[in-house]
Structure 1
Amino acid sequence: MDREKFGSRLGFILISAGCAIGLGNVWRFPYIVGQYGGAAFVLLIVFFLLVFALPILVMEFSAGRASRKGIARSYNALEPPGTRWHRFKWVALAGNYLLMMFYTVVTGWMLAFMVRSMAGAFEGLDATGVQEVYDALLANPVESAAYMLVTVAVGVLVTRAGLQKGIERVTKVMMAALFVVLAVLCVRAVTLPGAGEGLAFYLMPDFGKLFAGATPAEQWSTFFEAVFAAMGQAFFMVSVGMGSMSIFGSYLGKERRLTGEALGIAGLDVLVAVMAGLVIFPACFAFGVEPGAGPGLVFVTLPAVFSQMPLGQLWGALFFLFMSFAALSTVIAVFENIIGFSMDEWGVPRGRACVVSGVLIAVLSLPCVLGFNVWAGFEVPGIGNIQAVEDFLISNTILPIGSLVLLLFCTMRRGWGWDAFVREADTGEGLRFPRWARGYVRFVLPVLIAAVLAAGYLPIVRTWLGMA
């Protein structure tokens, strides 16, 4: 059977961008920028996105297009005889399931908050009141599980309809709506009285803020902490390392070079993150809210901010509609990667793969739901509850390890090899992959990825040693 293909280049770009654009852009990006001082940290993220994450994104697309397979068979098709690169595919599959085990739950919270915003549940509430609403949602396993099941059902139904009729058609509409809603919210936020201070914080770089609160002796360690945080965020934003992008590369034709396509997708990724900041930071400063409020910024702080605005019910509903679209676009893309794995590896028909994978993901997502209520006492020292453990395993383990494996596979003689990778990446029209970057990609980039991996585990090791 012939491999499915995208109906248009726009479809490929929007679906790939939809996979990358998710909670990393609109949930994690604003609060981590707030924690590290604003505009200077944004520049660090953009820099590392270009020199750190973009080359790996090109490699993932290249491996998918050259093999005409997703992560299930791309290593098998491209590896030299006698090598065992293909064993990593099981780690990648586990990573996709792990991501969905908490991503479907958090997406469900977005849907729940959208419904509550539409119903006016946050009207007149301060941050304490919103926190109570948020805590009540998490403490209710039935409601939280119900919204998770709605999210899973969306993933199953869209992917079951196929690439062009389902995923491409729905994602185009969803991404267009996402940009429209986000643009409306940006205009409203930047025109709030007092928004100028938030815009200055967000758009005028002050590298001194990277050292804020640090003694002279602590400044270098504080700076390197910010650098590693920016590298990790850049990594998280493009979703490379577990084959989520290779499946879309496998649906591509040979008309366009892949560096330009990857650059366009990364550009959309950054644009959404920057626009999300244009909504959040002016609103926070206009109402005297701390921008580095942490993960609760979206679910607790912002609903309280919207409740103080004229027509706050409308703006809050639109904001969580935008957040839901961003999260669902990633859910659909990762579902397709999981389903594509079953189709490529075992020849399972699309319909059956969708149903089986959907049921499996729904069951595997229940521990995350229960981790905030029935199993709330379960915690891993230095990491946290069930959701935090799942997030840590993806963000701090599987994504960097997967990216390192892919990088070595595309540059080593005992792998696919540099020449084969560049030949595939440069097939078609558009921007070429820079051949002068071979030394950097081969020797420097692996060290940077290993440093991000180590930096993610260092606080955990310190915690465990302190407990010994």
Structure 2
Amino acid sequence: MGKRESFSSRLGFILISAGCAIGLGNVWRFPYITGKYGGGAFVLIYLFFLLVLGLPIVVMEFAVGRASQRSSATSFNVLEPKGSKWHIFRYFTMAGNYLLMMFYTTIAGWMLAYFFKMVKGEFAKADTKQIEGIFGSLVSNRNEMLFWMVAIFVIAFVICSLGLQKGVEGITKVMMTSLFVIMIFLVIKSVTLPGALEGVKFYLLPDLQRLKEAGIKEGIFAALGQAFFTLSVGQGGLAIFGSYLGKDRSLAGEAVSITALDTFVAVMAGLIIFPACFAFGVNPGGGPGLVFITLPNIFRDMAGGRIWGSLFFLFMTFAALSTVIAVVQNIIQYGRDLWDWSLRKSLLINGVALVLLSIPTVLGLTDWAGFTVLGKNIMDLEDFIVSNNVLPLGSLVYLMFCVSRYGWGWDNFIAEANAGKGLKFPTAKAVRFYLTFILPLIVLVIFVQGYMSMMGK
């Protein structure tokens, strides 16, 4: 195996890891559930959970990556006690990464398609019914969706083929910086619309009455789930970037920076969506409808809407692509770590495999639309497996590996996490007790809750 690449700068590492975490959930899920569960009241609960739940596991995943200098394909082989079986987990993370790409690239393709539709002015003269029709015809057109899905893969694989520094780091830096700039422009535009202030109040002023009406228990579970899923912990996506990292910075500080960027994007997304919805008297629902039907209606009525709409979908494409590039880089590294493949060989084999495996998601929306498992189409089923199984169970493995003497162990984890300058991970007995006995239970509750809410539907 040749010399392992590393990041050229700390900024590159932070932006790529944040890019892995920043995805479509920040934009089409976070603002909606924040609005539903009392605005600022929900944000405070969410931030609390992010701190006590998400952050420790992010640090653990980075630590396993950095200490082993490997992706999750072989990181456990390097660190596990002799004779233990932690390394079997690699097949779980590999499956999780593949599954995520199998449905995520279809949605990323929609974003790219909408960017071009906005630029061309397809929404300018369309009424609300026609705007619904544009989305309807995209998600029922197999060939168009396949084209955009393959386009996303081609972009990601070309970037990864340029190597870590020139490709993944260099291009993600440009993309994430553009994402933040575009976002700030859109926020300024949105909050200065007539009547926008009501939307800002609805979104950010804590409203305990609204939280009570929606259900405090439900609100707490929604915050718990969002805090957990937003960081993409548990499937080795962050471990890979930890493995390219030097020992000069402690890991808790890096994890805080990444979590802060992820939260910033989620909160700012709401500052784009709610003021605009209130200014135009539109109900800000969640999910695909918000992004593909509600917002194009608003851009159509807005002065200079075609430009603002194009910028918005460019921002969405960057948010989606940053995740795709991060996960594809992880998948390519698996082949290199596990079977000593060259970069070219790993690109070729994984490229063909991923495109072929992603076709059923598109077919599940078109030719196989009647096919469901547990009442879910192929895309929703893949999403459920990743979000409600791979992420919580994978996080549990990282957690137990770092705190248990049957795994890597607390002392090894702390030594790795706190190597270098910067914020240190707390070593108090109470923290260790919480991470060993309480946090695993919370993660199991999230896992069970996912199934309970599915059965309840």
**TM-score band (shorter)?**
over 0.9
Deviation of the 1:288 alpha carbon: 1.0
2:272 maps to which of 249, 274, 279: 279
Deviation of the 1:387 alpha carbon: 0.7
1:289 maps to which of 279, 282, 286: 282
Deviates more, 1:294-303 or 1:48-57: 294-303
Match of 2:79 in 1: 78
Change beyond 3 A, Cα 1:30–1:55? same
Deviation of the 1:228 alpha carbon: 1.4
Match of 1:339 in 2: 332
Match of 1:92 in 2: 93
Take 2:221 and 2:364, find their aligned partners in 1: how far apart are those partners? 29
Asked if structure 1 preserves the Cα contact closer than 8 Å seen for 2:186 and 2:272, the reply is: yes
Change beyond 3 A, Cα 1:166–1:254? same
Asked if structure 2 preserves the Cα contact closer than 8 Å seen for 1:6 and 1:164, the reply is: yes
Change beyond 3 A, Cα 1:293–1:62? closer
1:454 maps to which of 434, 448, 451: 448
Take 1:43 and 1:374, find their aligned partners in 2: how far apart are those partners? 44
Take 2:87 and 2:219, find their aligned partners in 1: how far apart are those partners? 35
Match of 1:25 in 2: 26
> Deviations along 1:163-194, whole A, 9 cap, x unmatched?
00100110010011101111110100000000
Match of 1:169 in 2: 170
2:216 maps to which of 219, 223, 229: 223
Take 1:357 and 1:37, find their aligned partners in 2: how far apart are those partners? 44
Amino acid aligned to 2:352: V
Match of 1:124 in 2: 125
Deviation of the 1:417 alpha carbon: 0.5
Within 5 Å, which residues of 2 pair with 1:164-243?
A: 164-212=165-213, 222-243=215-236
> Deviations along 1:96-149, whole A, 9 cap, x unmatched?
000000111000000001000111111133433211100100111001000000
SS of 2:237's equivalent in the other structure is coil
The runs of 5 or more residues in structure 1 that have no matched partner are 214-221, 464-468
TM-score using structure 1 length: 0.95
Deviation of the 1:43 alpha carbon: 1.9
Deviation of the 1:293 alpha carbon: 4.3
Take 2:246 and 2:170, find their aligned partners in 1: how far apart are those partners? 18
Match of 2:412 in 1: 420
Take 1:387 and 1:415, find their aligned partners in 2: how far apart are those partners? 35
Deviates more, 1:354-363 or 1:109-118: 354-363
Match of 1:377 in 2: 370
SS of 1:240's equivalent in the other structure is coil
Take 2:258 and 2:398, find their aligned partners in 1: how far apart are those partners? 19
Match of 1:329 in 2: 322
SS of 2:42's equivalent in the other structure is helix
Match of 1:411 in 2: 403
Within 5 Å, which residues of 2 pair with 1:313-324?
A: 313-324=306-317
Amino acid aligned to 1:59: M
Count of residue correspondences: 454
Amino acid aligned to 1:4: E
Asked if structure 1 preserves the Cα contact closer than 8 Å seen for 2:19 and 2:326, the reply is: yes
Change beyond 3 A, Cα 1:46–1:295? farther
Asked if structure 1 preserves the Cα contact closer than 8 Å seen for 2:118 and 2:310, the reply is: yes
Deviation of the 1:2 alpha carbon: 1.7
Match of 2:105 in 1: 104
Deviation of the 1:24 alpha carbon: 1.7
SS of 2:230's equivalent in the other structure is helix
Amino acid aligned to 1:351: R
Asked if structure 2 preserves the Cα contact closer than 8 Å seen for 1:35 and 1:291, the reply is: no
Change beyond 3 A, Cα 1:295–1:137? closer
Identical aligned residues as a percent: 55
Change beyond 3 A, Cα 1:400–1:168? same
Take 1:354 and 1:379, find their aligned partners in 2: how far apart are those partners? 32
RMSD, aligned CA: 1.1
Match of 1:40 in 2: 41
Within 5 Å, which residues of 2 pair with 1:296-307?
A: 296-307=289-300
SS of 2:121's equivalent in the other structure is coil
Amino acid aligned to 1:230: A
> Deviations along 1:235-290, whole A, 9 cap, x unmatched?
11111100000000000000000000000010011111111111001001111111
Residue 17 (structure 2) pairs with residue 16 (structure 1):
yes
Change beyond 3 A, Cα 1:291–1:34? farther
Asked if structure 2 preserves the Cα contact closer than 8 Å seen for 1:156 and 1:355, the reply is: no
Amino acid aligned to 2:356: V
Deviation of the 1:381 alpha carbon: 3.3
Within 5 Å, which residues of 2 pair with 1:141-156?
A: 141-156=142-157
Take 1:165 and 1:244, find their aligned partners in 2: how far apart are those partners? 20
SS of 1:310's equivalent in the other structure is coil
Asked if structure 2 preserves the Cα contact closer than 8 Å seen for 1:256 and 1:429, the reply is: yes
Deviation of the 1:434 alpha carbon: 0.7
Take 1:127 and 1:73, find their aligned partners in 2: how far apart are those partners? 52
Asked if structure 1 preserves the Cα contact closer than 8 Å seen for 2:93 and 2:390, the reply is: yes
> Deviations along 1:332-369, whole A, 9 cap, x unmatched?
00000101111101101111111211111111111111
Take 2:282 and 2:374, find their aligned partners in 1: how far apart are those partners? 30
SS of 1:124's equivalent in the other structure is coil
Asked if structure 1 preserves the Cα contact closer than 8 Å seen for 2:29 and 2:286, the reply is: no
Take 2:272 and 2:456, find their aligned partners in 1: how far apart are those partners? 37
Take 2:148 and 2:69, find their aligned partners in 1: how far apart are those partners? 35
Amino acid aligned to 1:183: I
Asked if structure 2 preserves the Cα contact closer than 8 Å seen for 1:33 and 1:292, the reply is: no
TM-score using structure 2 length: 0.97
Take 2:74 and 2:128, find their aligned partners in 1: how far apart are those partners? 49
